[in-house]
Structure 1
Amino acid sequence: MENIDQKYQKLKDIIHSYNTLAVAFSGGVDSTFLLKVAADVLQAKTASKTPENNVVAITAKSISFPEREHKESEDFCEKNDIKQVIVSVDQMKIEGFANNPPDRCYLCKKVIFSSIIEEAKRLGITTIAEGSNADDTTDYRPGMKAIEELKVKSPLKEAGLTKEEIRILSKRLGLPTWSKPSFACLATRFVYGEEITEEKIKMAGAAEEILFGSGFSQARCRVHGDMARIEVPEDEIKKLLEDETRQTIFKRIKALGFSYVSLDLQGYRTGSMNEILNYDTSPLL
């Protein structure tokens, strides 16, 4: 079995095989690490040519990613002297998106990555990569089907790097994201089949900002009609149940427009909306 250093070298070798690269960059743990390694490897490879143009970060701006995330992505690119291009995507205009079917992520990723590919080609770059890792094969992820169809590279997954290994390597590289909480598109907060609206996306995002602002290390606000189902790490549930904290959070989240605010006693976990699905029979896997 390969150790973390062998996987890291494999990643650098994979990236070195590209001449130019556009990284789909969200500012999260995985894409930040991928972008940094790509910049280091490819700019060194072509130092005598045009290093400022061989690695480009392309960031899709949409309603389902908070402004905070976009600002952090811009700050990182500016600090590391990496060219960043923003493409705006109106997710509410994507056919089927608002209906929130189980393959919503496929529909959305197909449009978003098509826009990224189009922008990359305009810049003269034909290789596009994204930040899926080896752990992303363990959950229902229909968006991966769109990525594969569009022939977008997934170097972290190809190198066999897990999320924890990416955090360890990110810390070694001094990246500020090494301990950043995982984040997923706010559209993942809705129970399948429930209509997604711009108003409710903003409500879910605002509820999570309240929880993070209250000191929780991770948080999700799952939307079930007019009810907010709150997830925080299992070892932080006790903190939320402290009377003053509980009442304050309840009042602030209810004020966003929810009729009910509930706590998921199982605690935070990724993909909790997928627990009702039968992965084995899904045609998208």
Structure 2
Amino acid sequence: MKAYVFPGQGSQFIGMGKDLYTTSSVAKKLFRFSDEILGFQMTSIMFNGTIKILKNTKYTQLAIYIYSVIKTKTLNNFNPDMVAGHSLGELSALASVDVFSFEEGLKLVLKRALIMQKICESVHGGMAVVFGLEDEVIEEACKRDHGIIVPANYNCPKQLVVSGEYDSLKRVCNFFKRIGGKIFMLPVHGAFHSPIMEPAKNKLANFIKTISFKDSKCPIYQNVNAKPVKKYRNIKKNLIEQLTSPVKWKQSVENMINNGARSFTDVGPGQILQNLIRKIK
């Protein structure tokens, strides 16, 4: 069975999508359509902008969604048996199997990014990747801290992202270093997938009501529970919960393999998810 996977923030680069734009008339039409819908030249930022601008949450999320979904339109025989997306990538995955249209998905990504960015500007938070420690050790340290700090992304064995208030993040990361863990601070200015994002949930829920959803053509393994979902009502609920819940990527991949996935195609820019999947298999 064939699984297609869609990355989230961190996979962006300047020039992403330019090759699709120049070689595919379908891609060129959709890139131009994206600019029309958004009312600004997103393609110019993707193709010729600066990495500083592209790292802005609003532009990053739009760029990855646009690239990933357009790429599926240029693939031969795109007919997945199952799909999954990492954080933002879940929206790309849903659009790829027509749970909502490319246009409505684009509007949803923009709204989600703006909501998240506003919270990032009001709270001093961050995220860090912890390498080399067991999940249980990291979970326990987060529970013991008196601030806001939680496991945010279960990426692969001995690689877990923590997210929260900056002071808490500093404390737990210093502890992880003392017990042999390695730390990489992510270049983001927000505590995504943590309780800090709670104010975003109602706003996103209200906007999702304006989007037309359909049942998925194939199972999508959603971040919140790592389980296959097809019913649009469940998909909606899980999308909202995703804002404050950890991304269970490792568990999703394990479940896809257990349910018959034998090949994984990384649809977005880069090969970040393929590298994680190799460590999970």
TM-score (normalised: structure 2): 0.29
Relative contact order higher in (CA < 8 Å, ≥ 6 apart): 2
TM-score (normalised: structure 1): 0.28
